[in-house]
A and B are shown apart, each in its own frame.
Chain A
Amino acid sequence: MHLVSESITYIFLFIALYFEVFLLITYFELKEKERKLVASSQYIVSRKVPSISVIVPVWNEETTVLKTVFSILKLNYPKDKLQVFIVDDGSTDKTWNILQRFARNKQVKLLKKENGGKHTALNYALEFVDSELVGCLDADSFVHPEALQRIVAHFEDKEMMAVTPSIILHEPKSFLQLIQKAEYIFGIFLRKVFAYLNSIYITPGPFSIFRRSVFKQIGNYHHAHNTEDMELAMRMQKHGMKIGNASDAFVYTVGPKNLKALYKQRLRWVYGFMKNSIDYRDMFFKPQYGHLGMVILPAAGFSVFSTLYFFGTTILNLINSIIIKIKEVSTVGISFGNFNFDIFYVNTDIIVFISLLAILGTLFIIITSRKLAGEKYKLGVDSFLFMALYMMIAPFWMTKAIYNVIFSQKTKWR
């Protein structure tokens, strides 16, 4: 039994390390390519200004929707080329009344429908859209004034069918928000590397921009287990459509403040990821889907199970040592004396060295991502909270998500 668990641990460690090495190698490749691009100054010369529509689906969002819409209207982009479609998906609060202040704004179009879920709101608005590009912005997010220009530049590439932004957590205050801040920053690195590998499998709700032809060719949004932004990206990948990333196009989003809200959100994400993975299981380990099929999707699936495995073994070891301590105290009582530090007792197992290297790699990724995110310092409190605690809280929603998948329990938005 001991031998089996040890072997599993080493196999898991090897696979996890493989993915980390793969990401780092790719990052260095990407840096090298960027350097050459700058050197030969092949950068975008012509500047067409395509027309764009941004859809804001809202449902009971009276407190945040104004900020979202104003941020779009303040985008540095020609006004005649930018349209905003706000879809009230049957709000029961004052959202619709608040939205009336845009009733006379030529740039804004207000739509109202019966409640049917986010994907129905998006699809409803898509019927009215006739611009070249179309994007979505969730009503809990707002954009950087230059974000659109930076994204549009990537559409100079005729094959580029969608471009994702970099998402930053807005004004993290609570402990949990700090952890999320570091997580989102980590995501900036991943998205950049995934884009280079042509392996983006989520076009995030906050401000991913698509060519409108995408929807004409492969259809509108699906319900997709409440993670329509992942399903659409998977569908695009399946049809060989290119998805890029503008890592300097910043979008700010508000993270759940308390554990319950975070748990619900993440449960929806992980559950959606797993259900969509099952729906698109034929993309796994298929060379025709490139790095996405061969490495990225399998890695994403693996990360759920390995996190649970390492969490499980950590908890078991912890319980074990607590039991031994209890036994000791119950036989001989508590003693505080005689603690001598001896370097001999420093753990030098293989796993310690591999973990140290893995942590170094993670630190490198965090530092690089923070640079991309424009953070002032190389590391912050959030980075350490993330490294120390993320693996301890994520297993809770991961376990529940697996449970829900197995026993077909559906998740809710809120």
Chain B
Amino acid sequence: MEVSWKKYAYTFLITAAIFATAILASNYFSQKKMNEIKNIESRIAVDILASETQFSLLSELSCRDISSELLSKELATLGDKLSYTEESRGSDDEEVLNLKKYYSLLQIKDFLLMQKIKERCGGKTLSIMYFYSNLNDNCPDCQKEGFVLTRLREDYPELRVYSFDYNLNLSALQTLLSIYNIKNEQPAILVNEKVYYGFKSIEEIKEILPALKDLDKQATSTKTQ
């Protein structure tokens, strides 16, 4: 019986080559996904900038025309894709962190734009700011709160949910936290400038944000008609 070290070495090389190919393929697709996120982010940035410009140009713009057309619809998809990427690449991935910061900035801008529209044209707020933490076991209720907010967003497409990682190292976010005096306690939600701490169920959020109940009524009345 003989041993062929050469064959073992060849086998090793082939196996290593297959592994390298798999790693390259995985990196390629992962990078493609990152690019997709970047593309969405730049599209949203353009959307927001366009809306802001439009808004300042036409100070006489009638409120009817503004409606929700001005607000970007892709923020929610972006959030989903970003959190999926964060889960698969790890939350300490530099590239993910940068995309997340940009995402947070876009959310704040979107929020401010929405505030302006409200000031000018009135109407009810349909936005929730949500602060979470994904540090180890820091926030056992965040997962549950996430389910609640995702469901609300599915049920009420008009509702804008802005979610922020409390621990994200971003000065604009820190300013936002200090303006509304938000303590380091998660989950926390901010509705109409009021902060609520701890887990809030769908029903509790509807109490906090009665506009959602009005939407329910509208829906039932159109159904009965």
Q: Is the CB of A288 within 8 A of B1?
A: yes
Instruction: Report A277-293 residues with CB < 8 Å from chain B CB.
Output: 287-292
In the complex, are the beta carbons of A344 and B36 less than 8 A apart? yes
- The residues of A that contact B29 with a CB separation of less than 8 Å are 348
Which single residue of chain A is at the shortest CB-CB distance from B141?
A: A331
A328-B147, A332-B151, A335-B151 known; A18 vs B3 contact (CB < 8 Å): no
A198 at the interface (CB under 8 A from B): yes
Render B1-40 as a binary contact track against A, CB cut-off 8 A, 1 for contact.
Answer: 1111001101110110011011101100110010010000
Q: How far is the CB of B124 from chain A (nearest CB, A)?
A: 23
- Please determine whether B147 and A292 come into contact, CB atoms closer than 8 angstroms: no
Question: Would you call A33 an interface residue if the criterion is a C-beta within 8 Å of the partner chain's C-beta atoms?
Answer: no
Report whether B33 and A289 are in contact in the complex, using a CB–CB cutoff of 8 Å. Answer: no
Bound CA–CA A352/B23 (angstroms): 10
Chain B contact residues: over half helix, strand or loop, or mixed?
A: helix
**Cβ A291 vs Cβ B22 within 8 A:** no
**Chain A minimum-CB-distance residue to B77:** A342
B4 to chain A minimum Cβ distance, whole angstroms, is 8
- Complex contact B147–A332 (CB within 8 A): yes
Interface string of B184-212 (1 = CB under 8 A from A): 00000000000000000110000000000
Contact of A218 with B by CB under 8 A: no
Complex Cα–Cα for A27 and B84 (A): 42
Task: Evaluate contact between A331 and B144: CB separation under 8 angstroms.
Answer: yes
A354 pairs with B22, CB closer than 8 A? yes
Say yes or no for B137: interface residue by CB 8 A criterion: no
| Cβ-based interface call for A315 (8 A) | no
A315 nearest CB across to chain B (Å): 20
- Name the residue on B nearest A347 (C-beta): B88
* B18–A17 CB distance below 8 A: yes
Chain B residue numbers with a CB within 8 Å of A14 are: 15, 19
Given contacts A327-B147, A337-B154, contact A17 B15 (CB under 8 A): yes
- Bound Cα distance from A324 to B144, whole angstroms: 9
- B15 and A21: CB pair below 8 A? yes
Partner of A344, one of B81, B147, B154, B201: B81
Tell me the bound Cα distance from A187 to B3 in angstroms. Answer: 23
Given A344-B33, A344-B36, also A290-B148 (CB < 8 A): no
| Residues in chain B near residue A324, CB distance under 8 A | 143
Please state if A287 and B84 are interface contacts (CB–CB under 8 Å): no
Question: What residues of B have a CB within 8 angstroms of the CB of A357 in the complex?
Answer: 18, 22
**Minimal Cβ-Cβ distance residue in B for A353:** B22
Question: Is the Cβ of A352 less than 8 Å from the Cβ of B202?
Answer: no
Q: Is the CB of A327 within 8 A of B81?
A: no
Q: Which of A320-354 contact B (CB under 8 A)?
A: 324, 327-328, 331-333, 335, 337-338, 344-345, 347-350, 352-354
Q: List A residues at the B interface (Cβ < 8 Å).
A: 14, 17-18, 21-22, 25, 198, 240, 287-292, 294-295, 324, 327-328, 331-333, 335, 337-338, 344-345, 347-350, 352-354, 357
22 contacts across the A-B interface (CB closer than 8 A): A14-B15, A14-B19, A17-B19, A18-B11, A21-B14, A22-B7, A22-B11, A25-B14, A287-B3, A291-B1, A294-B3, A295-B8, A327-B147, A331-B147, A332-B147, A344-B36, A347-B88, A348-B30, A353-B21, A353-B25, A353-B26, A354-B19
Extra contacts besides A22-B11, A291-B1 (5): CB < 8 Å: A14-B15, A17-B18, A290-B2, A327-B147, A332-B202
6 interchain residue pairs of minimum CB distance: A290-B1, A348-B29, A353-B22, A332-B151, A350-B26, A287-B3
